[in-house]
Amino acid sequence: MRETDLVNNNGLLSFRYPVYALYTSREFPLPQTLIAPFWADVDTRNGAGTVYFRETTDCAIMSKVAQDVQLAFPEQLSFTATSVVIVTWYRVGYFNLNSDELNTFQCVLATDGSRSYVLFLYLDDGINWITGDASGGVDGFNGTEAYVGFNSGGPNSTYFAVEGSGTPEVVDIETTSNVDVEGLWIFQVSGDNIITAGCGIPDQLNVNETILSYNSTFINSTATYSCEDGYSLVGDAVRTCLSSGKWSGNPPDCRQIVNCSELMVEPNEGLSVSYSSNTPYNITVTYSCEDGYSLVGVTVRTCLSSGNWSGNPPYCQIVNCSELMVESNEGLSVSYSSNTKHYNSTATYSCEDGYSLVGDAGRTCLSSGNWSGDTPYCQFGLIVMSSNGINRIAVIVIPVVIVTVVLGLLVVLIVIFYACTIKKRKKMKPVTNEDTRCIAFKNCSSYQLEEIPSDYINQLSKHVISGSSLKIQETVGRGEFGIVYRGLISVKNDIPQAIAAKTLRSFYSKSDIDSLLDECIIMMSFDNLNVLPLIGVCLDLGPAPYIIMPFMSRGSLLSYLKKERPNLTVADTSEEDIILNVRKQLLSICLQVGNGMCYLASQRFIHRDLAARNCMIDDDGIIKVADFGLSEDIYSQNYFRQLEGSKDSSSSPVKLPLKWMALESIHDGLFSEKSDVWSYGVLCWEVFSLGRVPYPGLDPVGVVELLNTGGRLYTPNNEACSKEIYSLMTSCWSESPDDRPVFSDLVSSINTLIEPLAGYLDFTDINFCLENDIKV
């Protein structure tokens, strides 16, 4: 391998002839034979390091060298060193050293007489400078950098330079390798040729589009090629480092841009698609529906680098209009051309005999989901068209004699009726502290007397309000059996307070009065920010008692959701902060209702009719869980009139809110906190659906059939409703009551959902206040 080894302190070995004044490295090729483990401006004066040299036949050292060679060249397992030369540059500095940063490296020459190998070794944290001041460096850097490699010399000199030689990257040689061992480089010297243990960095075409990945360049290691997004690979994706020191095959190319297939749509479903450009990759498609249809799913999809479209295809769903509400006591009724009340279907109004329709008899379901025109009404008498085109009442002319007779009979009947009324009033007892108190109430065609048990009187005594302090005004709501008036209450010299006064409608029974008084007694103990309180009960204002409560000026939660629907509707294309803001507002509504229901559950009170229509909003925007028909007229189409199975066949039929009821309540008449939890889940669905009717398109019988087969309400079509929120709803609809959460758990879960969104909500719309035991 050599004739004479000559060591230069500047990180060089030469043969035959010494190296003079080569303190600054030079780029190969050069005329002299050189081995450069780290050719740089080394200066060992002033105690800045030592250079060691020795030749050894120590068995342990030769065995270690043989193992390293066999590691690098596994096909040469028979190599056994007969001579080893070790040169070490130990903690050497650079010329004009002005710091304590020193280098340590080593060169090992090994031979068995026919094959020769060179090992470069670099200590961990052993390279701390790469040039000296004589080579233009400052503090060991920024001059002519160190060179690592081999030079054969002579007129046709061949050479080999380790990657990074002569560049600032040479400082990292201690952490790199060609045999997967940091700081170890092994080469075979064969004549003028240098055979590296690895294959070097794999070559690649189209560097800007090609992504190259490899862990090492050692024999049998692999290199993997891939392409940037939008390009596909042409050629072998994997190449192997062969024992010849070359990579197998040829580098692949990234040439073809990915194409996504054309999207197919069914035109008869009203769905259409448009493309953002003709460029195959990274284009977007936008879906839309014809008038009368709404899009369900994503609006935009993107062509991915895989050649597939993002997301799933949406579909068009025909728009449905809500049920039309009519006041049945006005003789008005409505029929539909289709049970589903979808786009372009019609609703036809009619009146009972003796009434005439004022307004349009037909309305059409529009693409907006609203009905065309306004609601007509029924007016007694005949409607005719005058010559100037204005409707007027045509009074049927009655012969004067007949009119006179009829009027006379009416006068006689009025006199008799008045006399009977005076007589009955004289027989009624005044209110006393006796065990019972008599009240008169109307039952179909006559007055009867019923007794209020003394238990009621005693329990309500502290809450009885005199009718003289009340002023009843207009009607604000009607329920199945109750009616609610707006009014004022005057207490001493205070300003009159707005109140809501609830009493029974006509045709009620004694059990209805008992139920009303039971409601008063229950409400007396309520004391929660999110539960509607009782002001008192009036027993002398009319034939039936009046429950007096604060008047909720902002109406019901249901009416609020409908009114604010344009402001709270968010689509998948809305900005993220808008979606989060709406989500927080709607969650805060659910939390307030949950807080009220949590309190009622702690008082062992079961609501039985929890829905958005039965939650009220006060002047400050605080939501109150209220009763049972206090908000607005119940949607009769969403209730099922239970006529069978009643123990008392003479009792009034009962309407049940089936779309809000739990399975065990529907089938077995069982009510509990867990059945209220089911209703709460439906209320949350109403909130995130912004006041839409649950189970749209299904009548109550269809709802029961759906629930019996495991079906449930679908996810609200609102981007504000996340998967976690819908999961909370579905947990309320578990078939077994034991599998449903309690209200305290629901309040905790909603708090957890609200907490990360705290920075997005402005509470100016609904003032969100909770009691101290609820975490905001």
Report helix, strand or coil for 483: strand
Per DSSP, what are the bridge partners of residue 503? Answer: 483
Residue of 92, 19, 91, 87 lying closest to 53 (CA atoms): 87
Q: Which two tokens stand for residue 768?
A: 């969100």
Alpha helices in 691-773 (DSSP H): 700-708, 723-731, 743-754
Distance CA 186, CA 116 (A): 11
Q: Which residues contact 326 (CB under 8 A, 6 or more apart)?
A: 332, 333, 334, 349, 375
Residue 492 labelled as part of a binding site: no
Distance CA 741, CA 677 (A): 7
Does residue 609 carry a catalytic annotation? yes
Dmax over CA atoms of the chain, in Å, equals 154
Say how many C-beta atoms besides its own lie within 10 A of residue 169's C-beta. 13
Residue of 364, 318, 358 lying closest to 337 (CA atoms): 364
Q: Is-contact 260 274, C-beta < 8 A?
A: no
512, 609, 627, 676: which one is catalytic?
609
Q: What is the DSSP string of 744-755?
A: HHHHHHHHHHHG
Distance CA 498, CA 491 (A): 12
Say how many C-beta atoms besides its own lie within 10 A of residue 461's C-beta. 9
Q: Tokens 């070097």 map to which residue?
A: 200
Chain CA centroid to CA 645, Å: 45
Q: Tokens 């089938």 map to which residue?
A: 667
Q: What is the DSSP string of 501-550?
A: EEEE-SS--HHHHHHHHHHHHHHHT---TTBPPP-EEESSSSSS-EEEEE
In the 8-state DSSP scheme, what is residue 138? B
Distance CA 477, CA 694 (A): 22
Q: What is the dihedral of CA 679, 683, 685, 690, to 10 degrees?
A: 160
Q: Is-contact 518 606, C-beta < 8 A?
A: no
Q: Tokens 């059990």 map to which residue?
A: 511
Report helix, strand or coil for 283: coil
What are the phi and psi torsion angles at 302 (to 5°)? -120, 145
Q: Any idea what the Cα angle at residue 708 is, between residues 682 and 739, rounded to 5°?
A: 60
Q: Is 123 exposed, middle or buried (0-12, 13-18, 19+ CB in 10 A)?
A: middle
Distance CA 451, CA 440 (A): 9
Tell me the catalytic residues.
609
Annotated binding-site residues read: 502
Annotated binding-site residues for ATP read: 502
